[in-house]
Amino acid sequence: MDKQKKGVRLEHISKIYTDPKTGKEFYAVQDTTLDIEPGTFVTLLGPSGCGKTTTLRMIAGFESPDEGEIYLGDEAINALTPNKRDTAMVFQSYALLPHYNVFDNVAYGLKIRKLPQDEIKERVMNILKLVEMDGMESRMTNQLSGGQQQRVALARALVIEPSVLLFDEPLSNLDAKLRVTMRTEIRKIQQKVGITAIYVTHDQSEAMSISDKIIIMSKGKVEQIGTPREIYYHPSSKFVADFIGEANFLKAHVVSASGDKAMIDVVGRRFEVNNFAMAKQGDDATLVIRPEGATLSEEGILEGKVVLSTFMGSYQYYQMMVGDMEIQITDYNPVNRRIYEVGEKAFLNFDPRGVYIL
């Protein structure tokens, strides 16, 4: 694909539906503004009903925004039908044509565009090679595995050379092991082709593994936009911290704050942490500690009591009570460490630089 890369821009997009039971209107997507850079892989992530699929369908043209404007590159596309937009969608159900073989499924979009037969054959064979399905062009789609069907669906979307490739939970019908393989393949192909990709999923690990940026949505609104690392280590809200990975939330009091540091009091113990939220002296605050960022030892920052101790192979999983707060700990590579049993007292240790305030 030698064509110029295009990004996608959403400006104050809203979509309003009517609840069939109550008859009341509600925002499926509300006042959403996004700027997706050309050639990037961006994932819309969130729980069911958060608005991520509706947002994707508005970009594709299957839904029309009630408010706001969508741009592909510099072109406003609200008024364009799906087939007039420079986008292609890979569906959750694959949406392959059952009476066509692999070649004809992939060639379908090119035939509709009335391209010459020679060009169709060349482009189809090139794209089948890219998705590692060359040599299978005469197979019927019902003779293919789920992973092979997904590759054909991807080839069919890529062969028309869209500026933007849209994915609507494309791996949810595959088993867990194949999902991991296919998400890696999709990412490799996207990087090789250099296409802008927008991917919808509710699977956090899937989003973390393939994305340049993640857009986390909740109740029709964008909660946070950032790289996987930024989202994980610097969540902007309790919802984001809890949705991405596991998180412990500790009630704390800000004793003092200056610059990018804050002195924190948790159940009578004081220590300094990085102050990402610009906490003020006297504030009550919530600290976020990831389970893998904490360990148990004979002495340390916070004293507690072990209420669960489970060997998980690569790590020892603990739950301990610190005051009235339950803390989860994943202590990796426990082979040469002391294992704490239920009922024992221990100290919770963590690097204060890895703790942040909400």
- Of the two residues 272 and 18, the one the predictor is more confident about is 18
- Domain co-membership, 64 together with 86: yes
Range of weakest confidence among 25-39, 64-78, 127-141:
127-141
- Domain co-membership, 146 together with 274: no
Instruction: Report whether pLDDT(276) > 70.
Output: no
Report if residue 81 sits inside a domain. Answer: yes
Tell me if 216 sits within 8 A of 231, measured CB to CB.
yes
- Domain co-membership, 220 together with 286: no
- Domain co-membership, 207 together with 317: no
Residue 76's pLDDT band (cuts 50, 70, 90): very high
Residue 111's pLDDT band (cuts 50, 70, 90): confident
CA separation for the pair 316, 328 (Å, rounded): 11
Average pLDDT over residues 56-61: 96
Question: In this structure, how many other beta carbons lie within 10 angstroms of the beta carbon of residue 28?
Answer: 20
CA separation for the pair 89, 85 (Å, rounded): 11
- Condensed to tens digits (0 to 9), the pLDDT of residues 7-38 reads 999 999 999 999 889 999 999 999 999 999 99
Residue 51's pLDDT band (cuts 50, 70, 90): very high
- Domain co-membership, 148 together with 29: yes
- Domain co-membership, 217 together with 277: no
CATH number for the domain including 259?
Answer: 2.40.50.140
CA separation for the pair 294, 350 (Å, rounded): 5
CA distances from 2 to 162, 212, 248, 304, 357 (A): 11, 22, 48, 61, 46
Quote the domain boundaries for residue 351. 246-357
Q: 257-267 b/e with 16+ CB inside 10 Å = b? A: beeeebbbebe
278 DSSP assignment: -
> What pLDDT does 106 receive?
92
Written as six digits, the tokens of 176 are: 């867990």
The number of distinct structural domains making up the chain is: 2
Domain boundary at 240, 270, 296, which? 240
CATH number for the domain including 172?
Answer: 3.40.50.300
Report if residue 1 sits inside a domain. Answer: no
Residue 107's pLDDT band (cuts 50, 70, 90): very high
Average pLDDT over residues 339-355: 89
CA distances from 127 to 94, 132, 156 (A): 17, 9, 8
Question: Helix crossing, 117-130 with 102-112: angle to 10°?
Answer: 130
pTM above 0.75, yes or no: yes
* H runs (alpha helix) in 99-210: 102-112, 117-130, 146-159, 176-193, 204-210
Residue 3's pLDDT band (cuts 50, 70, 90): low
Strand order in the sheet with 196-201: 87-90, 164-168, 196-201, 41-45, 213-218, 221-226
CA separation for the pair 254, 325 (Å, rounded): 18
130, amino acid identity: L
- Domain co-membership, 216 together with 258: no
> What pLDDT does 277 receive?
60
CA separation for the pair 309, 251 (Å, rounded): 23
Residue 234's pLDDT band (cuts 50, 70, 90): confident
- Domain co-membership, 227 together with 350: no
Report if residue 145 sits inside a domain. Answer: yes
Report if residue 3 sits inside a domain. Answer: no
CA separation for the pair 249, 178 (Å, rounded): 34
CA separation for the pair 215, 319 (Å, rounded): 31
- Domain co-membership, 223 together with 328: no
Report if residue 142 sits inside a domain. Answer: yes
Range of weakest confidence among 102-106, 187-191, 260-264, 277-281:
277-281
Looking at every residue in the chain, the average pLDDT score rounds to 90
- Condensed to tens digits (0 to 9), the pLDDT of residues 235-265 reads 889 999 989 988 999 999 999 888 778 888 9
Domain boundary at 184, 209, 240, which? 240
> What pLDDT does 308 receive?
97
- Domain co-membership, 220 together with 273: no
H or E segment to which residue 26 belongs = strand 25-36
Residue 312's pLDDT band (cuts 50, 70, 90): very high
Q: What percent of the chain has pLDDT over 90?
A: 53
Q: What percent of the chain has pLDDT over 70?
A: 98
Report if residue 67 sits inside a domain. Answer: yes
Report if residue 198 sits inside a domain. Answer: yes
165 closest CA partner among 9, 42, 14, 10: 42
Tell me if 91 sits within 8 A of 112, measured CB to CB.
no
Domain boundary at 240, 261, 296, which? 240
Residue 85's pLDDT band (cuts 50, 70, 90): very high
- Condensed to tens digits (0 to 9), the pLDDT of residues 168-222 reads 998 888 888 888 988 998 899 899 889 999 999 999 999 999 999 999 999 999 9
- Domain co-membership, 31 together with 169: yes
Instruction: Report whether pLDDT(319) > 80.
Output: yes
Report if residue 138 sits inside a domain. Answer: yes
- Domain co-membership, 224 together with 304: no
CA separation for the pair 15, 50 (Å, rounded): 12
